[in-house]
Every structure is written in structure tokens, then in C-alpha cells.
């Protein structure tokens, strides 16, 4: 494919630019660590060792990565259709209600029997919660950013009502359901890997990680190898031109939001059926919002999202180890470091781009002209 004027080569756009942004974020984070009297090099060493230095740490890192893959893909699919879905948090919450209802209804049944129904419930409930914002954007012109923000709050209130008044554990002080029977829970990867001589300790990694990998592949196929993906990209780039090509932008907006909500809903399988074994009020732990940063950093491409989700998995797991090893670097400081990565990868993404365009875009345009 020929490069358009001003367009960066792919290796710069998808590789070099995110690497520069992440490096800048870590340099600023190092200054923050230095300001409180700690050695930033030592802090990075502890963070990497905690996330990747031993098998149990890797297990926790991949567990966090699983959640971020689902929410990152959710945001990315909407991006491709020109939508900014920031409602993955609410869509995952509502999907959690669906997964919990299925697991509690079949409580005690073998997990392999319950899993297909829980999986379908996560997709359906997540997609259903994204339908109204998508329909309102497509048919009534309501901006999806506003409606998905509202739906995040509505989902939170709905969770409180249901956990307190309808499906909550009787007599419990905290808003949560009763615990799912052991037979109905997803098996842990540690039990599967032990016969192979691999010990990942007490990490909560479960087969949902494999579903995350499949989701990455399937989304790539959908976006770049199907007619639906072509129509999504056409609407995302130029809705007016898409109409001339015979595409109904309203239909594509609704379908993109349904797919986006369904992907966010898969987080509930990992958390409710695989790790928490009950429905908790804030089981999503902000993963829906992290998905926005993952999609931005990953350039809305499944390969980039896999890398970005893994980076945030390292930050979450390594950050917990860092807060434990260095009491002066509190958990809040780790959140600041994560926030800086989001800031440089998202809001300041165009800070370096103009310089790279001046450096690389003329070469790309010349190469394209030589090919034509």
C-alpha cells in the first residue's frame, strides 16, 4: 500500500512512536521517584523483577493482562468505527451481573457445563448495555461519549441496588453475592501446568487468558479480513464517503457498539467465574478505563493492544511489588506512574508526532512515488 503525504511508515507509527512516549513517561516517573529520595533505577529493577522475575509474578501479570486485552479491544473496535466508547467499565459491570446469575443458577454444576452459558451471558449483557448508547448515537445524534459516561454511573447504581436488595448475600455487611461452589468455578492454570513441571504459585491465572488470545486474533480477522471490518473502517475514516459506497453508517455504529460491549463483557468471566468466585460491587477495579489507554497506546491494532495490555499488566503487578518493597513509594505513587504512561501515550501522543513526520514522512512519500 502506498503511503499518503504526511503519513508515517508503519514501523514508526506502531513501534517507534509508542516506544518514545513510554520512554518519556518512565523518564518523568523517574524524576518523581528521585524527588522523594529513592533510586529510580532500583525502582525499575524491583518493578520488573516483581512482574517478570519469577513464575508466580508472571502469572499475576498475565492475569491483569487478560482484563486489559478485553477492555482494550472493546475500545479499539469502537475507535475503528469512529466512536469513543468510554463505557467499557459499565458494560463489564453489567456483564458481571449476567455471569453471576448464570453461575448462581447452576451453582454446584461442573464448570465445563456452566461455562458456555456464562460466556454467552457475558457477551449478551455487555452488548445489551452498549446498545442504547450506540442506537442513540446512530439514530438520535446523541454523542456516545456522553451517553457511555452516563451508562457507567447507571451501571454502578444498578449494581448497588441488585447486590443490596435482590441477589446479595443475606446477612452480609458488604454488597456481594454468595460464593460460587468450587465445582462451578473456572479451573486455575496452575493446576493445569503442574503436571508439566511449571509452578506459577498462587496466581489467579485461568483459561480466560486463552480466550483473550483468541479474541485478539478474531478481532484482527474481523477488522481487516471481513466486509463488516471494512465497513467499520470506512465509516470511521469518512462517514460521508461511506454513504456514497452504499454503507449505512447508523447500522455500523450500532453493530460496532454491540461488538465493543460484548468484548468488554468478557472481563466478567475472568473476574466473577475465574478469580473472585462471587459478584463484588467494584470487581472491575477500573480496568474499563485502563482499556482506553491500552487502545490508544496499541494504536487500536490487536498486536499493539497485546503489547500495551502486557505493559499495563507489568505496571500493575510490578507496582504492587514496588509498593511492598519500598514503603516510601506508596500505591498512590504507582498510580501516578501509570497515569503518566496514560498521559504520554494518550493526551500527549501528538507531542512527538510532528517531529517524526518531518523526519520520516518525506521519505515515505518519496518511496510511495517511486513505487507508483
Note the pLDDT tens digit of each residue in 289-340. Answer: 889 889 988 888 999 899 999 989 998 898 888 888 887 777 777 778 777 8
CA 99, distance to chain mean position in Å, is 19
pLDDT band at 363 (very low <50, low <70, confident <90, very high): low
Give the model's pLDDT for residue 368.
60
Neighbouring residues of 26: CB distance < 8 A, sequence distance ≥ 6: 44, 337, 341
φ and ψ at 57, to 5 degrees? -60, -40
Reported pTM: 0.89
Give the model's pLDDT for residue 200.
85
Helix axes 331-342 and 17-35, enclosed angle (nearest 10): 150
If you search the block for the grid coordinates 460464593, which residue do you land on?
179
Are the beta carbons of 276 and 283 closer than 8 angstroms?
yes
pLDDT tens track for 35-88 = 888 888 888 889 889 999 999 999 999 999 999 999 999 999 999 999 999 999
Are the beta carbons of 295 and 307 closer than 8 angstroms?
no
Amino acid at each position: 500500500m502506498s503511503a499518503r503525504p504526511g503519513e508515517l511508515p508503519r514501523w514508526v507509527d506502531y513501534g517507534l512512536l509508542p516506544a518514545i512516549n513510554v520512554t518519556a513517561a518512565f523518564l518523568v516517573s523517574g524524576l518523581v521517584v528521585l524527588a522523594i529520595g529513592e533510586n529510580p533505577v532500583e525502582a525499575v529493577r524491583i518493578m520488573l523483577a516483581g512482574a517478570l522475575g519469577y513464575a508466580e509474578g508472571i502469572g499475576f501479570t498475565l492475569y491483569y493482562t487478560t482484563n486489559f486485552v478485553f477492555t482494550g479491544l472493546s475500545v479499539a473496535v469502537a475507535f475503528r468505527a469512529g466512536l469513543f466508547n468510554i463505557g467499557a467499565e459499565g458494560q463489564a459491570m453489567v456483564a458481571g451481573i449476567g455471569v453471576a446469575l448464570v453461575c448462581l443458577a447452576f451453582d454446584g454444576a461442573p464448570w465445563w457445563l456452566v461455562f458456555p452459558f456464562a460466556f454467552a451471558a457475558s457477551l449478551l449483557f455487555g452488548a445489551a448495555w452498549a446498545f442504547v448508547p450506540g442506537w442513540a448515537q446512530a439514530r438520535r445524534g446523541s454523542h456516545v461519549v456522553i451517553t457511555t459516561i452516563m451508562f457507567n454511573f447507571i451501571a454502578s447504581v444498578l449494581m448497588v441496588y441488585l447486590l443490596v436488595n435482590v441477589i446479595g448475600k443475606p446477612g452480609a455487611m458488604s454488597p456481594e453475592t454468595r460464593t460460587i461452589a468450587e465445582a462451578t468455578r473456572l479451573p486455575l492454570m496452575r493446576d493445569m501446568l503442574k503436571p508439566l513441571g511449571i509452578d506459577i504459585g498462587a496466581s489467579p491465572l485461568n483459561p480466560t487468558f486463552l480466550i483473550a488470545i483468541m479474541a485478539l486474533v478474531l478481532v484482527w480477522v474481523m477488522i481487516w479480513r471481513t466486509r463488516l471490518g471494512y465497513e467499520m473502517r470506512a465509516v470511521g475514516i469518512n462517514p460521508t464517503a461511506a454513504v456514497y459506497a452504499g454503507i449505512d453508517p447508523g447500522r455500523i455504529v450500532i453493530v460496532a457498539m454491540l461488538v465493543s460491549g460484548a468484548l468488554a463483557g468478557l472481563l466478567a468471566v475472568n473476574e466473577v467465574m475465574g478469580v473472585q468466585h462471587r459478584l463484588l460491587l467494584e470487581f472491575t477495579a477500573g480496568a474499563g478505563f485502563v482499556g482506553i489507554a491500552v487502545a490508544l497506546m496499541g494504536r487500536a491494532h490487536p498486536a499493539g493492544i497485546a503489547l500495551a495490555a502486557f505493559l499495563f499488566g507489568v505496571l500493575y503487578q510490578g507496582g504492587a511489588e514496588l509498593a511492598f518493597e519500598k514503603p516510601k513509594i506508596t500505591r498512590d505513587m504507582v498510580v501516578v506512574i501509570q497515569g503518566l504512561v496514560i498521559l504520554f501515550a494518550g493526551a500527549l501522543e501528538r507531542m512527538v508526532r510532528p517531529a517524526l513526520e518531518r523526519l520520516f514522512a518525506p521519505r515515505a512519500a518519496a518511496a510511495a512515488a517511486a513505487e507508483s
